[in-house]
Amino acid sequence: MIHRNLLLFRGARYLWWSLVLLIGSGVLYATQGNVQPPNGGTWQGYVLGSIGALLILWLTFLGVRKRSYKTTMGSVQGWTSAHVYLGTALLIIATLHAGFQVGWNLHTLAYALMIVVIFSGFFGLYSYLNNPVLISKNREGGSRAELFAELFELDKESRSVSQKCAPEVGIAVASSIERTTLGGGVYAQLFSGDESLYVRGTGAPVRNIDQQGVIDFVAERLPRAQKGIEAANLQHLIVLLCRRQAVLRRIRRDIRLRGWLKMWLYFHIPVTFALLFALTAHIVSTFVYW
């Protein structure tokens, strides 16, 4: 499993690297203080800051490494493992560099951006550890395309069966299919928003959350069915609609899990670029006003 390999890559080799780096940084930090309060301006502060800046550059370089397939500089898996551990170490190293001092300034802005990047990374790590398992469980081994193909078939079948029923049933089922929403905007994808509607007899479409409305509508027709064939059709239709409901649930859940799996990157990547510029400005401004 990828997530095991990610954290336990080569016996968590980079965990140990990070711990050694952290211990070194802690010692550096502790040797400050008798001259002036710990901050980025002591020689220890400069060293910690340099380590932090180099780490940020290297961590950013994962984006390049991921895309260069010909390189022989270690596996992407190893790089990602190191990325996680050293990124976590960066959080502490940068905090020590700052000497826990914050203010409304460029320096803290760079720090804050770094925090956003690292914590979005933590969320990404959490998602990569959890969601793939949930996704594959939800799909039961199939692919998303298969779920959609099934949905498509069920749509067609439902339409054709509903045509054989009373007109209002036909309208309700056709409208429920037409007005089924899946995914959509950011909120709808991440929180399985369901704006589905169906036409209940006449008038404006009504809510059809989780397709329950149309199922109930059809089910209510069942006791009133007069001919055996009508009841059979309705029953068949209910089975189809319920299967459709189940498939839609799976697809919604799939969209949601995949959405959360990717969501963090929309913070992680853009903020990383902002961080690179803020970091450069931080370093340059420090030496402009040396």
Partner 1 sequence: MEALLRELHQGPDGIAEYRDTEISGAELTIGSGTDQRIQLLGTAVAPEHAVIRKSGSKLDLSCRGGKRVRVNGEERSSAHLEIGDVIELAGHQLTIAEPPGGFDIAIELRPNENIDASEFESAFRTDLGQTWLSKRPAAWLLVAIVLIVGVVLPITVIVMHRAERELPAWVPGDEFWNSGPLSPAHQQAAGVRCDTCHKEPFVRVQDDTCMSCHKTIHDHVSPEHLALTQLGPTQRCATCHREHNEPASFLVNSSDAMCVDCHAKSNEKFAQLHVEPVSGFSAKHHPEFKAWLLKPNVPPPQTSPASGGGQGGGEFEWKTEIAALDKAVEQSNVKFSHNQHLDPDRVLRRGDSQPLNCADCHRLEPDGEHFEPITMENRCAECHELTFDPGAPDRQLPHGKPREVVLTLQDYFTRKFSDPNAGRPTRERRRLPGREEEEQTCTGAPFDCAMRSAHAEIENQFTRRGCVGCHMVVDTKSDSDFDRFQVYPIRFARDYFPAGRFDHRSHQIQGKLTGDAACLSCHKAKESQDSKDLMLPAMGKCEECHGDRPAVERVAVQCVSCHSYHPQLTVAVEAPES
Distance of closest approach, residue 223 Cβ to partner 1, in angstroms: 30
Q: Does 148 bind partner 1 (CB under 8 A)?
A: yes
Nearest CB to partner 1, comparing residues 50 and 285: 285
Q: Does 271 bind partner 1 (CB under 8 A)?
A: yes
Among 36, 50, 77, 163, binds partner 1 (CB under 8 A): 36
How many residues appear in the chain?
Answer: 290
- Go through 106-139 and write b for each residue having 16 or more CB atoms within 10 A of its CB, e for each that does not: ebbbbbebbbbbbebbbbbbebbeebbebbeebb
Report d(CA 254, CA 47) in Å as an integer: 46
Nearest CB to partner 1, comparing residues 89 and 117: 117
Nearest CB to partner 1, comparing residues 9 and 260: 260
The 3-state secondary structure of 55-99, one letter per residue: HHHHHHCHHHHHHCCCCCCCCHHHHHHHHHHHHHHHHHHHHHHHC
Hey, is 164 helix, strand or coil? coil
Report d(CA 116, CA 202) in Å as an integer: 51
Among 1, 64, 204, 288, binds partner 1 (CB under 8 A): 288
Containing 5, the helix (H) or strand (E) segment is helix 2-8
37, with CB counted inside 10 A (0-12, 13-18, 19+), is exposed
Residues in 228-267 that interact with partner 1 by CB under 8 A: 251, 255, 258-259, 262-263, 265-266
Residues in 64-103 that interact with partner 1 by CB under 8 A: 99, 101, 103
Q: Does 43 bind partner 1 (CB under 8 A)?
A: no
Distance of closest approach, residue 270 Cβ to partner 1, in angstroms: 4
Token pair, residue 98, equals 């700052």
Among 10, 26, 146, 191, binds partner 1 (CB under 8 A): 146
Among 62, 165, 182, 215, binds partner 1 (CB under 8 A): 182
Distance of closest approach, residue 35 Cβ to partner 1, in angstroms: 5
Binding site for partner 1 (CB under 8 A): 34-37, 39-41, 99, 101, 103-107, 109, 113, 144-146, 148-149, 151-153, 155, 177-186, 189, 251, 255, 258-259, 262-263, 265-266, 269-274, 277-278, 281-282, 285-290
